[in-house]
A and B are shown apart, each in its own frame.
Chain A
Amino acid sequence: MNRIEEAKKEYKAAERKKLMLILVFVVLVAITVPITLGFGVYKISLVDSIITFIQHITGNITNPKADTFIWNVRLPRALGAITIGAGLSVAGAVMQNDFKNPLAEPYTMGISSGAFFGVVIVIVSGACIIPGLTGQSAYMVNAFVFSIIPIVLILLVAKFRKVTPVAMILIGIAVMFLFNSISQVMLLASTAENLADAYSWRVGNTSRIGWSELPLLIAVTVVAICLVWTLSRKLDVMYAGDRGAQSLGIRPNRLRIASMTIVSLMTAAIVSVSGTIGFIGLVGPHIARMFVGSNNKYLIPASAAFGALFIAVTDTIAKVTGPDGLPVGVISSLVGGPLFVYILIKCRSKVWM
């Protein structure tokens, strides 16, 4: 039995290593957040910004202007960035697992195009689902309502007939094309200014996040991540294929639809606040997988931590480029694309398939 004990120790050691890696990511996030407070349009040194932050907490504000910037603008933006990064990355991990497809991402079901469609309606016609609402909140409400249409559709279909994973993906694609084409028709018929507005909404941006949206966003994301994390062992069993999973006591389709709905609602909430931030949802889980493997118990927290770190860092870069500079959606793809290709070449053996 000595050999078994040894092998078990090896397994435990590997698990501890994974845990350490996740911790490293979390610590890096914790370091990045105070640093990112020091960047932005309002010029303030890194040390001063942290001092201002501490002063606010202790209630001893000496520089009200700096305090306004740090506390009301930069802090919610930083917290929003890490929430979005964590949420999208976990959503991607779950979608890739559900569909056994390395190309699946949070937007595969057409969530982003639904949100965009909702916003285009507001921009072009001024109409909102809740009458009388205008401006940012109208964008947000419409974006959320329209982005959950694809999921509702899939749930409805699944109620009446058996849907295979491929059919789900294809339904998502069809809905996406439908929404996109209607948006395009509306935008092309509209003025160039409206198009520019819609376009700049679509490019993912964290600068719109303030204290008013943040609590709900964080609550939804944290709850959703915790929920899928409790499902992690069941999600592992999905790797065995649908029949295999069933023989191991899982109802694969039910689990797939349940987990997909959870992460889709979360993604819808994120998208309606920030627009479409691409890249991280697709690539975050792949990079996390290179570090901790495919076991969901570690993959989900690692994806969350890596996603948070990545968006926090790219958001800092976005702030450095100035008020008219690059939004975080552009930066994350610009940095992440080549980075991803590089990692893929270097550590290919650990990548999926």
Chain B
Amino acid sequence: MIIDIQGLKFAYTSVPVLNEVTVTIEGPKFVSILGPNGVGKSTLIHCINKILQPTGGTVMIDGESVTDITVKEMAKIVGYVPYSANDSFPLSVVDTVLMGRHPHSTRKSLDSDLDVVYEVLDKLGILDLAMRPFNELSAGQHQKVMLARGLAQEPRILLLDEPTSNLDVRHQLDVAKMLKALSREKDILVIMICHDINIAAKYSDEIILLSRGTIYSTGVPKEVITEKSLREVYGVKSVIIDDDGSPHVILKDSISEAETEEGPVRIAVDREGQII
């Protein structure tokens, strides 16, 4: 499957968030999107699965523009694991994950849907949580349940928004490893937003580095993760060593504003384009 993004632009109000993003992602593989806070990573993902309507440019999935794909069709092709489920709702874990089966479900399919759900729960090692109410779980468990929901969707493209942020180191590695294996076993394109450069570098087949609302560079981890790119994109000094063929970043120091060229003022803007 190919996601072809041409000249994508997006603005929440008058403030542009994404500008002239052009990239082609071809799967199956495991892709990570990196970039500083607020660079438009989540926005990019939402433009792919049609939650947001781009203000300019096109997004094509397998040669078909996303605007021509219905919401239900989209849900069969593209799965999405949100950053965190703030909404705590009183469903059991099984029922929550069962939501992921909705795009495929027919009136008679409950039993086979349940099989899928339990397999996914088992795979993620949370089978024992099955009957617990979702709103009584911890943040890490929430994240795993949301991940399970995305997997239960059995999509051809899986988008994940920081799926490892609430997990401990062991589970971070496990999840990243599992996502990579998933892309191989099920032949799907996995795209993950990530803040942990080392995890992304260790497991990803490809990294997309965003800076200031557009693509800074794309390619295999070794090409993208360099001391120069980290300095220019994140404003940090670092040393990069080779760890079994993949780059490993050791952070040294952040660069003070005087050292960057202009020292632009950064402000945070929430999803509605309002200054926080």
Tell me if A352 counts as interface (CB < 8 A to partner B): yes
Q: How far is the CA of A251 from the CA of B70 in the complex (A)?
A: 10
B118 touches A8 (CB 8 A): yes
Tell me if A3 counts as interface (CB < 8 A to partner B): yes
B90 touches A353 (CB 8 A): yes
Tell me if A243 counts as interface (CB < 8 A to partner B): yes
Q: Which of A78-86, A139-147, A229-237, A331-339 lies on the face that meets chain B?
A: A229-237
B89 touches A239 (CB 8 A): yes
Residues of A close to B78: CB separation below 8 A? 247
Tell me if A250 counts as interface (CB < 8 A to partner B): yes
Tell me if A293 counts as interface (CB < 8 A to partner B): yes
A243 touches B82 (CB 8 A): yes
Tell me if B32 counts as interface (CB < 8 A to partner A): no
A14 touches B91 (CB 8 A): no
Given contacts A233-B105, A240-B99, contact A246 B91 (CB under 8 A): no
A14 touches B131 (CB 8 A): yes
A248 touches B127 (CB 8 A): no
B153 touches A3 (CB 8 A): no
Task: Report the interface size for chain B: residues with CB under 8 A from the other chain.
Answer: 43
With most chain B CB atoms within 10 A of its CB, the pick from A246, A249, A251 is: A249
Q: How far is the CA of A10 from the CA of B117 in the complex (A)?
A: 14
Tell me if B94 counts as interface (CB < 8 A to partner A): yes
B102 touches A4 (CB 8 A): no
* Mask of A113-136 contacts with B, CB within 8 angstroms, 1/0: 000000000000000000000000
Q: How far is the CA of A350 from the CA of B153 in the complex (A)?
A: 28
Residues of A close to B105: CB separation below 8 A? 233
Tell me if A77 counts as interface (CB < 8 A to partner B): no
A10 touches B103 (CB 8 A): no
Closest chain A CB from B153 CB (angstroms): 7
Tell me if A319 counts as interface (CB < 8 A to partner B): no
Residues of A close to B76: CB separation below 8 A? 249
* Mask of B60-92 contacts with A, CB within 8 angstroms, 1/0: 000000000001111110111010010111111
> Which applies to chain A's interface (DSSP): helix, strand, loop or mixed?
helix
B127 touches A4 (CB 8 A): yes
A294 touches B100 (CB 8 A): no
Closest chain B CB from A25 CB (angstroms): 20
A248 touches B102 (CB 8 A): yes
Q: Which of B51, B130, B135 contacts A10 (CB 8 A)?
A: B130
Residues of A close to B153: CB separation below 8 A? 248
B95 touches A295 (CB 8 A): yes
Given contacts A248-B75, A249-B75, A251-B71, contact A294 B90 (CB under 8 A): yes
Closest chain B CB from A198 CB (angstroms): 39
A7 touches B82 (CB 8 A): no
Tell me if A211 counts as interface (CB < 8 A to partner B): no
Q: How far is the CA of A98 from the CA of B5 in the complex (A)?
A: 35
Residues of B close to A7: CB separation below 8 A? 118, 121, 127, 130
B99 touches A237 (CB 8 A): yes
Q: How far is the CA of A105 from the CA of B135 in the complex (A)?
A: 23
Number of A-B contacts (CB under 8 A): 103
Tell me if B50 counts as interface (CB < 8 A to partner A): yes
Tell me if B119 counts as interface (CB < 8 A to partner A): yes
* Mask of B88-113 contacts with A, CB within 8 angstroms, 1/0: 11111011101110110100000000
Q: Which of B79, B90, B92, B99 contacts A289 (CB 8 A)?
A: B90
Q: How far is the CA of A350 from the CA of B135 in the complex (A)?
A: 10
Residues of B close to A295: CB separation below 8 A? 91-92, 95
Closest chain B CB from A150 CB (angstroms): 26
Tell me if A241 counts as interface (CB < 8 A to partner B): yes
Tell me if A11 counts as interface (CB < 8 A to partner B): yes
Given contacts A4-B119, A14-B131, contact A246 B90 (CB under 8 A): no
Residues of B close to A294: CB separation below 8 A? 89-91, 95
A353 touches B102 (CB 8 A): no
Tell me if B114 counts as interface (CB < 8 A to partner A): yes
Q: How far is the CA of A128 from the CA of B217 in the complex (A)?
A: 71
Q: Which of B85, B99, B118, B121 contacts A248 (CB 8 A)?
A: B99
Q: How far is the CA of A234 from the CA of B101 in the complex (A)?
A: 11
Q: How far is the CA of A236 from the CA of B89 in the complex (A)?
A: 10
Q: Which of B80, B99, B114, B121 contacts A236 (CB 8 A)?
A: B99
B131 touches A247 (CB 8 A): no
Tell me if A56 counts as interface (CB < 8 A to partner B): no
Residues of A close to B187: CB separation below 8 A? none
Closest chain B CB from A19 CB (angstroms): 13
Given contacts A3-B122, A4-B122, A294-B89, contact A250 B102 (CB under 8 A): yes
B80 nearest CB neighbor, chain A only = A247
A247 touches B75 (CB 8 A): yes
Question: What are 19 A-B contacts with C-beta separation under 8 Å?
Answer: A7-B121, A7-B130, A233-B102, A236-B91, A236-B99, A236-B102, A237-B99, A239-B89, A240-B85, A241-B85, A244-B80, A246-B71, A247-B49, A248-B153, A249-B71, A249-B103, A294-B89, A294-B95, A295-B95
Shortest 5 CB-CB distances between A and B: which pairs?
A249-B75, A247-B80, A249-B103, A239-B89, A249-B72
Which B residues have a C-beta under 8 Å from some C-beta of A? Answer: 46, 49-51, 71-76, 78-80, 82, 85, 87-92, 94-96, 98-100, 102-103, 105, 114-115, 118-119, 121-122, 127, 130-131, 133, 135, 149, 153
Which A residues have a C-beta under 8 Å from some C-beta of B? Answer: 3-4, 7-8, 10-11, 14, 100, 233-234, 236-237, 239-241, 243-244, 246-251, 289, 293-295, 350, 352-353
